[in-house]
Amino acid sequence: MMVIRPITQNDLAALYRLAAKTGVGFTSLVADEPILQRKIEAAVRSFSLEELNQPGEESYLFVLEDTEADNIVGVCGLLATVGYDEPFYSYHLGMVTHSSRELGVHNVHPTLTLNNDYTGCSEVCTLFLEEDYRHSRNGQLLSKSRFLFLAQFPERFTEKIFAEMRGVSDENGVSPLWESLGRHFFSIDFSRADELTSLGSKQFIAELMPHNPVYVNLLPPEAREVIGKVHKSTEPARRLLEQEGFRFADYVDIFDGGPTLEVFVQDIRAVRESRLALATVGQPKATDSGTTYLVANSKVQDFRCIMIQRSTPPGSSLVLSDEEAKALNIQNREPVRIVELSPYSNR
With contact defined as beta carbons under 8 Å apart, do 260 and 163 qualify?
Answer: yes
Whole-angstrom Cα distance, residue 110 to residue 259? 16
Q: Among 92, 106, 109, 231, which one carries the catalytic annotation?
A: 231
Question: Is 211 tagged catalytic?
Answer: no
Residues 6+ apart with CB under 8 A from 340: 273, 291, 292, 293, 294
Quote the pTM value. Answer: 0.91
CA contacts within 13 A on the Cβ side of 252: 25
Domain encompassing residue 259: 2-93+114-273
With contact defined as beta carbons under 8 Å apart, do 149 and 60 qualify?
Answer: yes
Whole-angstrom Cα distance, residue 7 to residue 303? 10
pLDDT score, position 204: 67
305 found inside a domain:
no
51 found inside a domain:
yes
pLDDT score, position 78: 98
pLDDT score, position 201: 59
In tens digits, the chain (347 residues) has pLDDT values of 999 999 999 999 999 999 999 876 676 788 889 989 999 999 999 999 988 989 999 999 999 999 999 999 999 999 999 988 777 889 999 998 877 777 777 788 999 999 999 999 999 999 999 999 999 999 999 999 999 999 999 999 999 999 999 999 888 778 899 889 988 887 777 777 766 666 665 566 767 777 889 999 999 999 999 999 999 989 999 999 999 999 999 999 988 999 999 999 999 999 999 999 999 999 987 777 789 999 999 999 999 999 999 988 888 899 999 999 999 999 999 999 999 998 865 44
The total of structural domains in the chain comes to 1
With contact defined as beta carbons under 8 Å apart, do 261 and 243 qualify?
Answer: no
pLDDT score, position 347: 40
With contact defined as beta carbons under 8 Å apart, do 158 and 55 qualify?
Answer: yes
17 found inside a domain:
yes
330 found inside a domain:
no
312 found inside a domain:
no
| Burial group, residue 147, by CB count within 10 angstroms (0-12, 13-18, 19+) | buried
304 found inside a domain:
no
- Phi and psi at 34, nearest 5°, equal -60, -40
295 found inside a domain:
no
309 found inside a domain:
no
Number of CB atoms found within 10 A of residue 101's CB: 7
- The CATH code of the domain that includes 129 is 3.40.630.30
